[in-house]
Amino acid sequence: MFDKLSVKDLQVAGKRVLVRVDFNVPVEDGKITDNTRIVRALPTLRYVLDEGGSLVVMSHLGRPGGLRSDEFSLKPVSQELSKLLGRDVIMAPDCTGEEVERICAALKPGDVVLLENLRFHEGEKANDPAFAAQLAKLGDEYVNDAFGACHRAHASVQGITAFHTGAMGLLVQKELEYFGKALSAPRKPFVAIVGGAKVHDKLPVLENLFDRVDTFLIGGGMCYTFLKAKGIEVGSSKLDEDNLEMAASTLRKAEKAGVEVRLPFDHVIADRFAADANIKTVEGAIPEGWIGLDIGPKTAEDFARLARSAGTLVWNGPLGVFEMEPFSKGSRLVAQAVSDCPGTSIIGGGDTASMIRANGLERKMSHISTGGGASLELLQGKTLPGVAAISDRH
C-alpha cells in the first residue's frame, strides 16, 4: 500500500544524513518527563551510524510561534539523545545559517549534530522553499522518521524533498506497514474502537472504514451525540449539536453496509465534572443534570468480549475521562481485553497511547502509534503530505 524508499535503500557510508524526527517530548523545568519519542527514533539513527554515516538530526518542540525561546530549546533533548546513543551529540546554535553550515560540513562518520528547534523560524510551518533549501544544504541524504509530523505540510517534512530524494526511516516504515495492512488486508473479524470527544474528527474514520470493519465500538464523549441521534436522552453529557444529523446519517449508512455499531447501554455518570462528584451507574437514558463520563460495567464487558475475539483491532480515542480515577475503569477493562487479543492490535497514538501506558500494557499491544493526528488522518482515508513526499520505490 505504501511502497516507499527506505533508509535501507540509501548508500549512507561517508554521507551526512538529514533525519527529521519527532522529538516533541514533554519537558518540565528543563527535564524530559517522557522520552518515548526519542527512544522510538533510535533504530533509524543507529542504522545510519552503524553504516558509516553522520547524522544531522532535526525536530520541532512545542509551539514557539516562529520566535526563539529557552523554554522551547532542544538542549535537554540533546543531552537525553547523547545518553541513549552513548556518544556526544553536538547541539547546534540554530537550524540554519553559516555557523550551522560550518558545523555540519565538518562532520565525520559517526558524528551527530542536533539542530535547534525548527519552529523558531516561521519558514518551517509556512513550508517556505527558501527555508527548506537552507535545511537541505546541511546534508547529502534526507530521511523522514517523524511519523507524528507526517500530516503537516511543513518545510522539514515536505518542502525539503524538492532538494533531496526522500526516504522513510524505520519508525515511519513500521507505522505505514501496520496501518497499511489494517486498511488493505485486515485479518477478520476487524474491530474498531472509537472514542474521544470530537465527533467531527471521528465521523470520517467510521465512513472510511465501513467496507473493511465488522464491528465499531463507540465510547468516550462522542458516544452521547450518537445516543441522542437515536433518541436516547443523555442528560447534561457532552453533545455536539452541529453533528447530530451527521451522526444519525452515519448510523443509517452503517446499517446499510451491514456493519455493527455498538453504543454504550449503561453509563458511569456524575452530577458534575469532578473526581469527587456524586457518582452512580445507570442503564439506558441519563437523567437531566447528570453527565456521562465513562462506559458502564456491562458495556465494558460487552466491548471487552468483542475486543478479545478480534483478528485486527484498531483503537483511537479513550472510552471515558480516564485521567480521573472514578471514570477510568471502562477504558482500563477494555485495554486489558485488547492486550489479550490474539490478532493484531494497533493503538492510534495521543490520549489512547497515554492511557495504555498508564496501565502498563504497552508491551502487550502489537503497535502503538507515535502520531495521534497522523494516524487519525490515515484512518480517515487522507493522504499524509509527509508520506506523499517520500520517493516511491521504483
Catalytic residues: 37, 198, 350, 373
Query: Using an 8 Å Cβ cutoff, are 4 and 45 in contact?
Result: no
At residue 144's C-alpha, the angle toward residues 122 and 378, to 5°, is 90
| Closest by Cα among 322, 366, 31, 389 to 179 | 366
Pull the grid cell for residue 194.
472509537
The 3-class secondary structure across the chain, one letter per residue, is CCCECEHHHCCCCCCEEEEECCCCCCEECCEECCCHHHHHHHHHHHHHHHCCCEEEEECCCCCCCCCCCHHHCCHHHHHHHHHHHCCCCEECCCCCCHHHHHHHHCCCCCCEEECCCHHHCHHHHCCCHHHHHHHHCCCCEEEECCHHHCCCCCCCCCHHHHCCCEEECHHHHHHHHHHHHHHHCCCCCEEEEECCCCHHHHHHHHHHHCCCCCEEEECCCCHHHHHHHCCCCECCCCCCHHHHHHHHHHHHHHHHHCCEEECCCEEEEECCCCCCCCEEEEECCECCCCEEEEECHHHHHHHHHHHHCCCEEEEECCCCCCCCHHHCHHHHHHHHHHHCCCCEEEECCHHHHHHHHHCCCHHHCCEECCCHHHHHHHHCCCCCHHHHCCCECC
What is the Cα–Cα distance from 259 to 254, expressed in whole angstroms?
5
